[in-house]
Each structure stands twice: as structure tokens, then as C-alpha cells.
Structure 1
């Protein structure tokens, strides 16, 4: 069952409860928002509801974190981006919130207080249980329709994400729709050959993705870079040096080495790992074959020969899914692998980036427009690519069955 969309929901003149993910880097001392990327991604959905009374439900961080704060600055930032006032109330479903919602006219936007200030929103619940929470009962009574645009939180089974669709007509916002459509295309109808580039430090997620896309014939090739590559090299019996081996131990990734070994047995010809790597030697970038990595030096990037080989592989691909950097991209000497491979990935017919650090690098390089899609949800994107149903997406599908 597909998810419903704004276009088919008839939202004009209605009071729309709009769930966004505006969780952003913040300066805890001044509450200044340091990066408004997530705000910008949601603007088209807010603009599409210009004839509705819009009530925004969103969150910032979570209890116990330094940046867990009120949303006054978020309302101001969104108002700047949509060129319309965004009212803010420091209430979630109390009398102040209810009266403010009732007073809304079509075209007006109201942002309620940080939804995670309510303890129930921090629980992980099944949709049926979430529907019974005070939070869902009280909030659903304030609106006519629920629009979920918070793809970055779609892997969380929290009351607003999975409970509201059980009690009221619910559809996807434009961002949620775009994410689900594009990532579904990766899994079902991507131009071939399909190459997944998996890097960074989240090795357990990357191994899960590799296993799913190779087992199900979704990917023709998987290229391992970053710490993911080091885990595969260990699984192949290479000595990757003391610092890199210790890092894998610190991250508790020894079980992933075993999983990598099993994947190599089944798909050795379809998993590509670097033949050359770069280390820091006397303050400079020096390259070694993987069979001769110095014992006391950490692996910090892919070597130039392997960058060239991987770039050629990407050039011949119809689809590239890129998640995670190739090395310590923050240092100029060790950013080469990440930058060059991203340039190659940006030139293919269908290119998808899994958000997170990779999206930051792309923005820095100024090549965002060269990619087909850059996901706004790192964790949600990865979970989607492992073949798991995201709780919020499943809830929207069920809502369509219940309410049409």
C-alpha cells in the first residue's frame, strides 16, 4: 500500500498538524541555529500548505543533551525562510496551545513547543500503544489532518510519528514523499549497474546494507572505504597496523569482521576494497600497498591507485549510492579519496547520498545540484536501504488503509 500525499488529501482550509524534523546544530549558550539545512528542506512542504492552518510539531535534540531547548529560535528561522510570520507558543497541548490553534486563519503558521518536552514522545511504542497516549489524544483533537514530513525521524517509533496516523487521516509531506520514492527506486528500479560506496565509521550499518543489497541482487558492486574498508581488510587477513586495529576494537566492531568474512566468502568478486592506503608519516601523506601497512601508523585515506580504480568503477555505473567518507576528510592531505570519489559519483545517471558527513562534504564542495538525491535522514536512510520498513512510513501506509 503506498503512502498518501498532500496533493490527494484536500488540505485547503483545513487545520493541518505538520510534523517536521528541525533538529539542528545549535550554540547552547545563545540558542543560535548554526545550520539551517533541515529547515530549507521542509520549506516546499510548508509552502504547499499555504491555504491551510498549519500547526508545526517538531523537536530539538532529546532529554539530557546540552542542545535540548525551546523552539523560539526555530520559529524565527523558519519565518525568515518562508517569508511569512511563524507564531510560537511555549505549550504543546495545554489551554494556550489549543486557543492559539483555534485562532489560526488559513495561511497562518503556528509552531508548538519542542514535542520531546512531553515525556511520552521519548518512548518507543507500537502504533496501537502510541495511539492511546495522552499526547496523541490531545494533539489529534486540535487538527483535521496529519502531514508527516519528518523523514529524518522516520526510523523512530514515537507517538507523533506512528500514533497520530492511527487516529486521523495522515499523509506524507513533499520531503517524506521524495525520500521514500527515491530510496524505493534504489531498491527496485535503479539504472544498472548499481554500485554502493560504503564508508565512514558506522561499520555495523554498512555491513547490514551490503548484506541486503548483495543478497537481494540490488547492487552489482559494493566498494568499501573508510573504517568499513579496514574491517574488510582485517577479514581478508591483512595487518592494517596497530592504531587502525585498536580503533575497530574501541568501536566494538570485532563481530563485524566475522560478518565481513562471511560476505567475502559469498560475494568476493562483487566487494571491492582498496589495494593502496594513505598514512601520515613525518607529518606528510605517504601511500602503501595494503600488504605493507606500517605497524604504528593509522590508515587515514584510500591510496591514489585505488581512488583511480574505484573512480573507473563508478564511471561505468548507472546508479551510485554513496554513504560515508573515505578517510579523515577534515584534513586536506587525507580528503583526496572522499572528494575524488564524490566527484565521480556525481557524474552518473542516478546518484543518491545517505546524508550525514557525506552531505556536509558535498555542500562544502558546492556540488549538491550534481546529485539526484541527498537524503536528509542518515539513520532513516540507512535503515531503509537495509530493507527494513521504517515505522513512520508503515504508519502512513496503514493510515491510508484506515482513512482512505
Structure 2
């Protein structure tokens, strides 16, 4: 069942609780927001609600982190990008917040304090339990309807994400709608052949994605790069050297080697492993075939032979889903693999990129406009691709059943 949309809600003249994900890189010393990409992604939804009283519920970081802070700078940043006032209220549902919401007129925008300052928002709860929290009861009493546009938080089962849709008429915002629609297309209707590129360090998630897309015939090929490739190389019987093997142990991914072996046994012809790698030796980049990786040098990028082969594979694809870098791209000596694979992926007919590091590299390369879709949620995107129903999407579907 699809999620409800803003059009169906008839939000004109109503008070709307709008859940956004404005969690951004921040300089803890100055509270300066270093990247406003997430703000920009939410602007169409905020503008679509211009005839309503918009009460923004959002978060920054989580308890215990250096960048866990108030949202004063976020309100200022949003005000600057929208070109209209955004009132910041340093309360979530206290009398100050309630009075401020009551005083709003149509077209006004107000941002409540960091919702994770409330302990309940940091709990993982089933929707029915989340609905009973103090936080959901108080927030839902302050507005007429709820719009969730926070795709980056869609994989979390937290009260504002899964409880509010059960407490009030709800819909997905324009960004949520776009993310769900585009990522769903990967499963059906994407131009073939479909090629998944799985990299970075989230090995367990990547292996879940690989298994799901291969088992269900969603992907024709899965290319593995980064630490994900190192796990597959061990599973295929290669010695990747001590530093890279130790990193896998450090990240607690030894169990994933068995799962990778199982995938290779069943789908060896559809999993593409790199045939050469770049390591750091005597402080410089040196390349080796995967059968001859030195014992004491860390694997930090793809080798040029491997890169040439993978670029050719991507050129033949109709669809590319790209999640995670090919190596330590922050070091310019080991950025080539990530940069060149992304450039190749950008020329494909239908190209989707998972959020996080990969999206940051694309911004840096200035090729964002060449991709069909760059997801705003790394964790949410990869969980969606494993075939699991995201808690936020599920809650919005349930809301549609309850409230129509």
C-alpha cells in the first residue's frame, strides 16, 4: 500500500507537524553548519506547505556525541535558504512551545528544539508502544496533521518516526515520496542489466543487500569494492595481508566471511571481485594482483587493472546502484578507484547513489546532476535495498489505513 501524500492531506490552513532530518556536519567549537545539503533537499516540502502553520520537528546528532547541540543555527540556516522567517523555540513541548504554536498564523514556520533532547526519542520502540509515549501524546496534541519527510531517519523505530503516524493523519513529504518511489524502481522496472556496487565499511549491510538482490534476480551483477571486497577476497581464498585482515577483525566482521563464501558458492558468475589492489608501501602507492598482496601492507584502493575492468562492466549497465567508496578516498593517492567508478556510474541511464560518504564525493567532483538520484539516507537507503520494510514507511502506510 502506498504512503499518503501532501496533496491528499489538504494541509491548507492547518497546523502541520513536519518531521525533517536536518542532522548535519557541524563545527562543535562554533556551532557552524558545514554542509547544508539536507536542508536543501527538504525545501520543496516546506514550500509545498506554505499555506499551513509549519511546526518543524528534527534532530542533530545523538546523546554523548560532540555535535549533539541545540537547533538555533539550524533555524538560522533554514531561514537563510528559504528567504523567510523561521522561529526557533528552545523547547519541545513545554508551555513555551505550545504557546508559540498557538500564536502562529498561516504561512508561519517554527522549529522546535532538538527532539533527541527528550530521552524517549532515543528509544527503539514498536509503533504501538511509541504512540503511548509522553513525547508523541504531547506533540500530536499541538497540531492537526503529521508529515514525515525525514528519509534519513526512516530506518529508525523512534517515537516521532513510528508513533506520530499512529496518533494522527499523516503523509510522506515530497523527499520521502521521491526516495521511496525511486528506490522501489530498482526492484522493478529499472533498465537492465542492473549492477550493484557495494563498498565502504558497512560489510554486514552490504552482504544482506548482495544476498537479497542476487536471490531475487533484482541485480544481474554485484561489484564489491572497499572493505566489502576484502571480505569477499578472503572468502574466495586470497590472503589480503595482515593489516586488512586485522581491520576486518577490529570491525567484528569475521562472521561475514562465511556468508560471503555462501554467496560466492551460489552466484560466483554474478559477483565481480577486484583483480588487483593498491597498497601503501614505503609511503607510496604500489599495485599488486590479488594473489600477491604483501603480508604487511594495507589494501587502500583498487589497482588500475581492476579499475579498467570494473569501468567497462559499468559502461554496459542500464542501471547502477552505488553504495560506499572503493578505498581511502580521503587520501588523494588512494582516491582514484572511488572517483573513476563514480564517474563511470554517472553516465548510466538510471543511476542511484546511497547517501553518506559517496554523496559527499559526488558533490566534490561536481557530477551530482549526472545521477538519476542521490539518496539522503545512507543507512535508510541500504536497509531499503535489503528488501526490508523501513519502519517510517510502514508507519505511514498504517496511518493511511487508520485515518484514510
Matched residue, 1:324: 324
Where do residues 4-403 of structure 1 align in structure 2 (5 Å cutoff)?
Answer: 4-403=4-403
SS class of match (1:197): strand
Separation of aligned partners in 2, 1:305 and 1:185: 32
Aligned-pair CA distance for 1:27: 1.4
Aligned-pair CA distance for 1:284: 2.2
Taking structure 1 as the reference length, the TM-score comes to: 0.99
Unaligned runs of 5+ in 1: none
Aligned-pair CA distance for 1:282: 2.5
Separation of aligned partners in 1, 2:295 and 2:137: 60
Separation of aligned partners in 2, 1:378 and 1:164: 23
Separation of aligned partners in 2, 1:402 and 1:182: 26
Separation of aligned partners in 2, 1:68 and 1:294: 42
Separation of aligned partners in 2, 1:40 and 1:14: 24
The alignment of Structure 1 onto Structure 2 pairs a total of residues equal to 404
Separation of aligned partners in 1, 2:156 and 2:324: 22
Separation of aligned partners in 2, 1:266 and 1:96: 60
1:128-181 CA-partner distances (Å, limit 9, x unpaired): 111111111111111111000000001111111111111110000011011000
SS class of match (2:87): strand
Unaligned runs of 5+ in 2: none
1:338-362 CA-partner distances (Å, limit 9, x unpaired): 1110011000010000011101110
Aligned-pair CA distance for 1:52: 0.7
Separation of aligned partners in 2, 1:324 and 1:91: 37
SS class of match (2:3): coil
1:260-286 CA-partner distances (Å, limit 9, x unpaired): 000000000000001111112232222
SS class of match (2:394): helix
Aligned-pair CA distance for 1:367: 0.3
Separation of aligned partners in 1, 2:329 and 2:372: 23
Alpha-carbon RMSD across the aligned residues, in angstroms, is: 0.8
SS class of match (1:269): coil
Separation of aligned partners in 2, 1:124 and 1:203: 23
1:23-55 CA-partner distances (Å, limit 9, x unpaired): 111111221111111111111111111111000
Separation of aligned partners in 2, 1:140 and 1:373: 33
Separation of aligned partners in 2, 1:331 and 1:112: 39
Which runs of structure 1 show a deviation greater than 4 angstroms over 4 or more consecutive aligned residues? none
Taking structure 2 as the reference length, the TM-score comes to: 0.99
Separation of aligned partners in 2, 1:109 and 1:313: 48
Separation of aligned partners in 1, 2:33 and 2:54: 22
Aligned-pair CA distance for 1:234: 0.5
Separation of aligned partners in 2, 1:136 and 1:249: 41
